[in-house]
Amino acid sequence: MKPINVGLLGIGTVGGGTHAVLTRNQEEITRRAGRPIHIVAVADRHVERARELVGADVKVTDDAFSLVDDPNIDIIVELIGGYTTALDLVLRAIDNGKHVVTANKALLAVHGNEIFAAAQKKGVMVAFEAAVAGGIPIIKALREGLSANRIQWLAGIINGTTNFILSEMRDKGLSFTSVLHEAQRLGYAEADPTFDIEGIDAAHKATLMASIAFGIPVQFDKAHVEGINKLDAIDIGYAEQLGYRIKLLGIAKRQANGVELRVHPTLVPSKRLIANVEGAMNAVLVWGDAVGATLYYGKGAGAEPTASAVIADLVDVTRLATADPKNRVPHLAFQPDQLSDLPVLPMSEVETAAYLRMRALDKPGVLADVTRILADLNISIDAMIQKEPAEGEDQADVVLLTHVAREKDINAAIHKIEALESIHGKVTRIRMEALNG
């Protein structure tokens, strides 16, 4: 059969891995796809470096739009990233009737509704397995493998940089800043790590998973996003004493009145498998009403793990290219006219348990004042650590774990506790998730 011709936009880490794996496993991939898949053209700013990677048989240019407009190219693989030029290229490829494969979670989290609508109108596919959790086939699992289920919730470690930092802080008792510098030295963190450490990258991915899990439009602007840049090593130690580990989780939950969509540091019971995912690895835990808990674990980044997902999408698109567009798997798992208008809930309405750490004067009545404030707001205490003051000091750490309470009530309690004369400084709050169904 006629080969599928691919135009590759960007041949950096993932693009290079895609070319390498596609070349190395060409025979196996052809047997699966039913026809050969060939990268026939590459667009990259660094033309000479790109030419060295792909050889003389592949066209190399610095004009990405020339590939998008080339009538001989069937699928565009977009790996350049960002929101602007990438959006123009993807929309033009779709308008030209080309299928698109992308690893660009930021683009889809912000402009996904527009892109999917354009693709639907033109009868082409936009595949994005590589946009979430690298080589882990979580998009396919949510969209196809779990399609019999009413998915109740998902929680994922979906950023390897932050998971590496948290693992190192816990293992070595080091500060966030020192571990971040080590992560940058080792190549786990970018020179500008903002998207990672502030939770934005994880929120992009959680947004896409939530849309597929619950059949709602992509709504990144409604996500609650917190990173790990303000996390203190002392809290990681206290969490360990209480039987928990702290992970940056992307969480999406279905509630009767809406959907929770949030990213933040989270205490997870140490006995949970996901709590023991260390280093730069990723994992996503999904709870469906029929199947119960399913866990997906693997490398969330890197040249060849991500290339694995890119090529899986190429194979899928190749298999389905001649199918009636109405019979293909919908972009967001649900038929486009069947998406739900279930709203994303404001964080103030979300209910979680909480870890609260405060610096308190060592004198009678302090704890009574704190517990009275909590009780007045219907917040009950599950566990507590009260440290002895260091020699010569009159203050000590008090750590409380609460039962599940509404976010706005926890916020009100924190405000009142911080106003007590016996409490010094701010109260540290970290949310908790049991992840037990």
pLDDT truncated to tens, each residue of the chain (437 aa)? 799 999 999 999 999 999 999 999 999 999 999 999 999 999 999 999 999 999 989 999 999 999 999 999 999 999 999 999 999 999 999 999 999 999 999 999 999 999 999 999 999 999 999 999 999 999 999 999 999 999 999 999 999 999 999 999 999 999 999 999 998 998 888 889 999 999 999 999 999 999 999 999 999 999 999 999 999 999 999 999 999 999 999 999 999 999 999 999 999 999 999 999 999 999 999 999 999 999 999 999 899 999 999 999 999 999 998 888 888 999 999 999 999 999 999 999 999 999 999 999 988 899 999 999 999 999 999 999 988 887 778 899 999 999 999 999 999 999 999 999 999 999 999 999 999 97
Instruction: Tell me the C-alpha distance between 283 and 296, whole Å.
Output: 5
Q: What are the tokens at 227? A: 């990173």
Are 213 and 127 members of one domain?
A: no
What phi and psi, each to the nearest 5 degrees, are found at residue 425? 80, -165
From residue 19, alpha-carbon distances to 28, 308, 313 in Å are 15, 11, 14
In a domain, residue 262? The reply is yes
| Count of CB atoms situated within 10 Å of the CB of 416 | 18
Are 386 and 406 members of one domain?
A: yes
Are 85 and 154 members of one domain?
A: no
Are 18 and 122 members of one domain?
A: yes
* Half-sphere exposure in the Cβ direction for 431 (13 Å, CA): 28
- Give me the domain span that covers residue 369: 349-432
In a domain, residue 145? The reply is yes
Are 154 and 219 members of one domain?
A: yes
* pLDDT value for 129: 97
Find all residues with CB under 8 Å of 176, minimum gap 6, and list them: 165, 169, 228, 229, 231, 232, 233
| Count of CB atoms situated within 10 Å of the CB of 53 | 17
DSSP letters for 58-97: SEEES-HHHHHT-TT--EEEE-S-SSSHHHHHHHHHHHTT
Q: How many domains does the chain have?
A: 3
Are 11 and 131 members of one domain?
A: yes
CATH at 71: 3.40.50.720
* pLDDT value for 419: 97
Are 326 and 411 members of one domain?
A: no
Are 186 and 171 members of one domain?
A: yes
Residue 326 known to be catalytic = no
Are 128 and 145 members of one domain?
A: no
In a domain, residue 84? The reply is yes
CATH at 427: 3.30.70.260
* pLDDT value for 364: 87
Query: Residue 13: is it exposed, middle or buried by C-beta count within 10 angstroms (0-12/13-18/19+)?
Result: middle
Are 156 and 274 members of one domain?
A: yes
Strand blocks (E) in 236-328: 244-255, 258-269, 281-288, 292-299
Are 125 and 204 members of one domain?
A: no
The one-letter code for the residue type at 410 is I
In a domain, residue 212? The reply is yes
Determine contact, residues 261/210, Cβ cutoff 8 Å: yes
Are 123 and 169 members of one domain?
A: no
State the catalytic residue, choosing from 140, 205, 247, 416. 205
From residue 394, alpha-carbon distances to 115, 235, 359, 414 in Å are 60, 21, 10, 22
Instruction: Tell me the C-alpha distance between 254 and 163, whole Å.
Output: 25
CATH at 174: 3.30.360.10
In a domain, residue 343? The reply is no
